């Protein structure tokens, strides 16, 4: 009976290899552009060397280092407080501190500038009370961008660090105290090292988002490789140099991935994951007040302030932005999200299914490699994928006389490459929970792979499929770089509308689409909170 399934598995494996090839396609196209350097490209490179290439590299490096430090300080400290310490409001903060993840970085950026710039309410109030010459720091520099991205990305570290601290319980800390360590020493010498793999994994996710960010840095007029790629493509109309710049950004991504993998490989800590109950330290007096105030301040600045300011702008504009154009942007956004979500979900389900097909050691190794390659796209910035796909489809257009490079098809391929890993994780985790005996029974009855997938696996995986679809849907709706570069004419989305309005300083007009994206962004945050609660209840 095994032969029945194995004989047809080649078809499914070929589909998995095709999915991997789709992700590898833009990367190979980008790297191939270094062999094409004409006089026009040389002039642009000389211009970049003379004007801003060193600044691009320095700004990108400073952004990575600054945001990395920021998300670790915020994420680890908040995770520790809400896991091991008891203070007023802890049960509220343990899930509410995930809410900033629903705020896109570019939304937080323009709200921050709208509040803190010269004409904003804070500087206006300072001039009123302290005179026209009242000093105020420059908010549109490196520190401002790092501050904004740290606020919206720390939940990655917070979520994974909190899970690690929950698994530890308080036993390791108590063991450290018995060995003569103070509570602070035990935290740094026992709890942090044991949780390091989870902290590094969260840090890697945050740094990937930092390298991929285009919206926040463009709002702050802060030059990085992502803004340079867009400027070369949109301003100088040179895709070759844009691809070469994208390959330099890929170098940053590759270094980040290697460092993250080496850190995990060096970590050899074990812990008991069956703690019956998490005993907490009771904070009293000033310590309790400080803990509550710290958590409240982060939540206030990271979620309440931006949402409140957007609502005020929206009310002030009298919902003037709620017109036919807004409904068109909303329709395009939802339609692209639904199409991409469905397509990505099909591919993710295919990969997770093929991973478990019987076969030879060689075929299984090839399948495993193709899956790793196919899910690598999440580490690639949207601008990098966009340039690679446009270049590839441009060659096809020249050969066949088509216009695929400026079509919805090309945009959907970019979304698939970018977000396949997001859908694959919950689908693969759900399939792990399906008992192999169920599939073996169907195989023994002569069911072919397609029938097993259609009649057994898909019905059993509905929760994982729904989770994967929802997360991809929201991520696509918030995606800016790839959409901005690749959208067909007349296919503006809410993210593109926000970029256009904020580039012109029209904060109030951008408020309505920004609030829409935040509300939609709460869906995956809710799923993550529910998942974290169910994991906690099992500890």
What is the C-alpha separation between 88 and 353, in angstroms, rounded?
Answer: 46
What is the C-alpha separation between 379 and 212, in angstroms, rounded?
Answer: 8
pLDDT value of position 260:
67
Question: Could you tell me if residue 249 is inside a domain?
Answer: no
pLDDT value of position 469:
85
What is the C-alpha separation between 241 and 57, in angstroms, rounded?
Answer: 16
Question: Could you tell me if residue 227 is inside a domain?
Answer: yes
Question: Could you tell me if residue 524 is inside a domain?
Answer: no
Domain that holds residue 353: 1-36+318-513
Residues contacting residue 395 through CB under 8 Å, at least 6 positions apart:
none
Is pLDDT above 90 for 258? no
Question: Could you tell me if residue 259 is inside a domain?
Answer: no
What's the pLDDT tens digit per position in 226-242? 888 888 877 777 778 88
Of 256, 284, 316, the domain-final residue: 316
pLDDT value of position 365:
82
| Same-domain check for residues 296 and 398 | no
| Same-domain check for residues 117 and 155 | yes
pLDDT value of position 170:
60
- 56 or 167, higher pLDDT: 56
What's the pLDDT tens digit per position in 84-128? 888 899 889 988 998 998 899 999 998 998 888 777 778 778 878
CATH of the domain at 81: 1.10.3720.10
Question: Could you tell me if residue 305 is inside a domain?
Answer: yes
| Same-domain check for residues 335 and 359 | yes
Helices 462-478/324-354 angle, 10° precision? 140
| Same-domain check for residues 22 and 67 | no
Question: Could you tell me if residue 262 is inside a domain?
Answer: no
Indicate the number of domains in the chain. 2
Of 316, 346, 372, the domain-final residue: 316
**What's the rounded mean pLDDT across residues 199-219?**
86
**What's the rounded mean pLDDT across residues 141-154?**
91
pLDDT value of position 281:
76
| Same-domain check for residues 16 and 66 | no
Comparing C-alpha atoms, which of 389, 124, 344, 43 is closest to residue 243? Answer: 389
Q: What is the mean pLDDT of the chain?
A: 80
Report the predicted TM-score, pTM, of the whole model to 2 decimal places. Answer: 0.81
What's the pLDDT tens digit per position in 490-529? 888 999 999 888 888 788 888 899 999 999 888 888 877 7
Q: How confident is the model at residue 450 (pLDDT cuts 50, 70, 90)?
A: low
Question: Could you tell me if residue 65 is inside a domain?
Answer: yes
Is pLDDT above 90 for 371? no
Q: Hey, which of 178-187, 245-254, 496-505, 510-519 has the most confident mean pLDDT?
A: 510-519
| Same-domain check for residues 84 and 221 | yes
Question: Could you tell me if residue 261 is inside a domain?
Answer: no
**What's the rounded mean pLDDT across residues 402-426?**
82
| Same-domain check for residues 165 and 293 | yes
| Same-domain check for residues 392 and 293 | no
- 81 or 6, higher pLDDT: 81
| Same-domain check for residues 156 and 192 | yes
| Same-domain check for residues 11 and 120 | no
| Same-domain check for residues 278 and 364 | no
- Which own/partner pairs from 229-233 qualify as long-range (CB within 8 Å, at least 24 positions apart)? 229/383, 229/384, 229/387, 230/383, 230/481, 230/484, 230/485, 232/44, 233/387, 233/485
- 138 or 45, higher pLDDT: 45
pLDDT value of position 433:
66
CA distances from 518 to 47, 105, 408, 484, 506 (A): 39, 11, 25, 19, 18
Q: For the beta carbon of residue 42, count every other beta carbon within 10 angstroms.
A: 11
pLDDT value of position 2:
43
Provide φ and ψ at 489, rounded to 5°.
-60, 130
pLDDT value of position 300:
95
Q: How confident is the model at residue 183 (pLDDT cuts 50, 70, 90)?
A: low
Q: What is the dihedral of CA 313, 319, 320, 321, to 10 degrees?
A: 80
What is the C-alpha separation between 208 and 204, in angstroms, rounded?
Answer: 6
Decide: 521 and 108 in contact? Cβ < 8 Å: no
Q: How confident is the model at residue 1 (pLDDT cuts 50, 70, 90)?
A: very low
| Same-domain check for residues 134 and 153 | yes
Q: How confident is the model at residue 537 (pLDDT cuts 50, 70, 90)?
A: low
Give the DSSP per-residue string, 106-164.
HHHHHHHHHHHSTTSHHHHHHHHHH-TT-----SSSHHHHHHHHHHHHHHHHHHHHHHH
Q: Kindly provide the residue ranges of all beta strands, DSSP E only, lying in 240-384, ordered along the sequence.
A: 281-282
């Amino acid at each position: 009976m095994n032969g029945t399934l194995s004989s047809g598995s080649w078809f499914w494996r070929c589909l998995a290899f095709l999915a991997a090839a789709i992700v590898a396609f833009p990367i190979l196209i980008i790297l191939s552009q270094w062999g094409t350097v004409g006089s026009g490209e040389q002039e642009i490179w000389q211009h970049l060397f003379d004007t801003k290439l060193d600044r691009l590299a320095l700004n990108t490096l400073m952004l990575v280092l600054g945001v990395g430090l920021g998300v670790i300080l915020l994420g680890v400290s908040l995770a520790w407080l809400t896991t091991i310490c008891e203070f007023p409001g802890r049960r509220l903060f343990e899930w509410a501190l995930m809410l900033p993840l629903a705020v896109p970085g570019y939304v937080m950026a323009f709200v921050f500038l709208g509040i803190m710039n010269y004409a904003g309410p804070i500087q206006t109030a300072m001039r009123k009370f302290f005179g026209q010459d009242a000093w105020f720091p420059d908010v549109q520099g490196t520190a401002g961008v790092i501050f904004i991205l740290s606020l919206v990305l720390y939940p990655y570290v917070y979520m994974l660090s909190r899970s690690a601290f929950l698994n530890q319980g308080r036993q390791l800390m108590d063991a450290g105290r018995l060995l003569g360590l103070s509570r602070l020493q035990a935290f740094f010498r026992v709890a942090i090292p044991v949780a390091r793999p989870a902290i590094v994994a969260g840090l890697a996710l945050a740094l990937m988002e930092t390298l991929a960010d285009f919206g926040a840095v463009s709002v702050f007029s802060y030059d990085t490789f992502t803004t340079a790629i867009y400027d070369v493509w949109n301003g100088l109309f040179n895709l070759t140099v844009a691809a070469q710049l994208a390959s330099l950004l890929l170098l940053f991504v590759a270094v980040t991935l290697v460092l993250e993998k080496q850190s995990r490989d060096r970590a050899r800590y074990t812990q008991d994951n069956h703690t019956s109950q998490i005993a907490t330290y009771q904070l009293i007096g000033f310590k309790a007040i400080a803990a509550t105030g710290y958590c409240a301040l982060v939540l206030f600045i990271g979620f309440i302030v931006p949402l409140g300011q957007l609502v005020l702008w929206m009310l002030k504009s009298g919902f003037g932005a709620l017109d036919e154009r807004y409904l068109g942007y909303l329709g395009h956004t939802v339609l692209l999200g639904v199409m991409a979500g469905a397509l990505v979900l099909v591919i993710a389900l295919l990969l997770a299914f093929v991973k478990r097909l019987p076969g030879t050691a060689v075929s299984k190794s090839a399948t495993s490699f193709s899956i790793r390659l196919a899910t690598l796209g999440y580490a690639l910035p949207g601008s990098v994928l966009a340039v690679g796909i446009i270049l590839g489809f441009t060659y096809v257009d020249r050969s066949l006389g088509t216009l695929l490079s400026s079509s919805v098809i090309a945009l959907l391929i970019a979304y698939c490459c970018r977000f396949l890993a997001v859908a694959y994780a919950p689908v693969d985790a759900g399939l792990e929970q399906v008992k192999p005996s169920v599939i073996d029974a169907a195989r023994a009855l002569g069911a072919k792979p397609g029938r097993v997938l259609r009649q057994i696996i898909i019905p059993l995986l509905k929760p994982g499929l729904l989770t994967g679809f929802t997360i991809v849907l929201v991520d696509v709706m918030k995606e800016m770089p790839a959409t901005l570069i690749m959208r067909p004419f007349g296919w503006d989305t809410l993210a593109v509308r926000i970029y256009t309005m904020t580039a012109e300083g029209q904060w109030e007009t951008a408020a309505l689409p920004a609030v829409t994206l935040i509300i939609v962004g709460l869906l995956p945050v809710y799923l993550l909170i529910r998942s974290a609660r169910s994991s906690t209840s099992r500890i």
